[in-house]
A and B are shown apart, each in its own frame.
Chain A
Amino acid sequence: MLSILSGIGNLIFQKLELFGQLVLLTIDTIKRLRFLDIKRLVKQMAHLGVDSLPIVLLTIFFTGVVITIQTAQEFIKYGAQSTVGGIVTIAMGRELAPVLTGVVMAGRVGAAITAELGSMKVTEQIDALRVMAVNPVAYLVVPRLIACIIMCPILVVFANVIGIIGSYIITTFYDSITTQMFINSIKVFVVPHDITGGMIKACFFGAIIAIVGCHKGLNTAEGAEGVGTATTESVVLSIILIFFFNCILSALLY
């Protein structure tokens, strides 16, 4: 019994320590924002953001399709077919687009950041930066953080558009839902804040992905196995934090 309690206690301390390290890295990064190099930022925006667009679009398109298949039939049963467009758009704008974009980005971008920085760590490239009087946080973390914060909400805008297109394509198969009805319901139900709120969430998710990815990369243990472990931990932790902060942000924003 005592060993179980001690195990739980240790686990809690480890998680608190990790959370503290993430907060410290965030503060250190914010302090070094003045060293932001625009060239490096643009490169990271292209690498982390633009290159993620196809996978984000694909994921959200199918999500729009599936959610409409699931809801349209039920709504038609109860004569609420005129609300499908609006309901799907609200769900997409507030929750599905930002959260799923965050999850996809955590898998693609978070993993890439950790793997890259982890490889640099185990091959002494991070030490080489420090030896050459270049701060690794200013050089590596700052551009990645800003790139993720800028690109995540932009990707969410594209995700919203493609999600709604996916939804609309499905509604065309139902005779009782017309194009005019679909558009009108969006006009009636959706307010700009449904979309901007999702974009604000995406900024936080981008920051989580960058900070967790960089922290895990910069603290990678030696060897190829260490890089693999750090990458897995980075993706898992990012996704958990995205869902956790999504609850808080949803409560605060809507």
Chain B
Amino acid sequence: MNKEFISKSENSEDKKAVFKEFDAINQEMVAKAKEDMVKLVDVSVELDGRYILKDINLTVKRGEILVIIGSSGSGKSTLLKLIIGLLKPTSGQIWIDGKNITMIHEDDLNEIRLKMGMVFQYSALFDSMSIGDNVAFGLKEHTDLDESVIKEIVTEKLGLVDLKGIEDNMPNTLSGGMKKRVGLARAIAIDPQIVLYDEPTSGLDPINSKVIDELIVSTKKAIQATAVVVTHDIKSAFTISDRIAMLHEGSFVIMGTPEEVKKSENPVVKNFINGFVT
């Protein structure tokens, strides 16, 4: 259609005007896309003939905490892996900070990943490295900072998760809750713009869960990062979220503020948040 429009413009002045208009529209689109830190457009993931996710549309604004809830096997972790580029969608587009990452090469994707951090469900700490080296890993790999500066940053980040002084410990000496906190310190060490959390409170006692919830909120405030949290912990979801989206059988059944989700009359949502067995 655009080509037709251009060809109809007879003189070069008209063509210039059309290109200017396109430019303006383009810039507007990029600016709009940049407002959205994460954007998924009609994303589907099919595995062995079964849809894990189907026609997912999702936007996460800059600085927002979006919590994705849903029962086990609903596609929550798959969604997170799509956002960080560990999985490719069968169809649809994924935009991160205004850049389409859907089909880009792993090496180009790494540039985008430098803007992101991820807290894994089982922490995924490097078990052959000390806690200090785990937290410093990203800084050592991607910056030219002096060892002393890196040490300071590690101390600061471990301080943020209330774990100062354990730099020389090995991961196998820590409890589950402590490992999650170290995982968070590692994820935020390079000051990412987006932090992804995969089941951050699963397997933790209520006190540790609360600590992690508070850390997610305080981390967002400290580094102004956008957060996408995947959880089936309803209490945690309502505590930390700006918005909640619920996945059910590969599709969103609701997306809105915590209040909107609480008031939802959708039986799937009601049953899930009230813990009813259907």
Give A residues with C-beta under 8 Å from B: 119-120, 123-125, 127-128, 130-135
10 contacts across the A-B interface (CB closer than 8 A): A124-B124, A125-B124, A128-B120, A128-B125, A131-B118, A132-B138, A132-B141, A133-B110, A133-B138, A135-B107
Question: Which listed residue, A123, A125, A130, touches B86 by the CB 8 Å rule?
Answer: A130
Complex alpha-carbon distance, A119 and B125, angstroms: 12
Name the 10 nearest CB pairs between A and B, nearest first: A133-B110, A124-B124, A128-B124, A133-B113, A131-B118, A132-B138, A133-B114, A124-B120, A125-B124, A134-B141
The verdict on A123 contacting B122 (CB below 8 Å), with A133-B110, A135-B107, A135-B110 known, is yes
Complex alpha-carbon distance, A135 and B109, angstroms: 11
Asked whether A127 lies within 8 Å of B114 as measured between CB atoms, the reply is no
By the criterion of a CB under 8 Å from any partner CB, how many residues of chain B are at the interface?
23
Please encode chain B, from 104 to 125, with 1 for each CB lying within 8 Å of some chain A CB and 0 for all others: 0011001101101110111011
Interface membership of B137, Cβ < 8 A? yes
Asked whether B126 lies within 8 Å of A125 as measured between CB atoms, the reply is yes
Complex alpha-carbon distance, A173 and B120, angstroms: 65
Residues of A within 8 A of B116 (CB): 131
Interface membership of B3, Cβ < 8 A? no
Residues of B within 8 A of A130 (CB): 85-86, 106, 113
Interface membership of B265, Cβ < 8 A? no
Interface membership of B127, Cβ < 8 A? yes
* Smallest CB gap from B86: residue in A: A127
Residues of A within 8 A of B120 (CB): 124, 127-128
Please encode chain B, from 47 to 72, with 1 for each CB lying within 8 Å of some chain A CB and 0 for all others: 00000000000000000000000000
Question: Which listed residue, B114, B127, B138, touches A125 by the CB 8 Å rule?
Answer: B127
* Smallest CB gap from A137: residue in B: B106
Interface membership of B84, Cβ < 8 A? yes
Residues of A within 8 A of B106 (CB): 130, 135
New contact pairs (16) apart from A123-B122, A133-B138, CB-CB < 8 Å: A123-B127, A124-B121, A124-B124, A125-B125, A125-B126, A127-B120, A127-B124, A128-B120, A131-B113, A131-B118, A132-B113, A132-B137, A132-B138, A132-B141, A133-B110, A134-B137
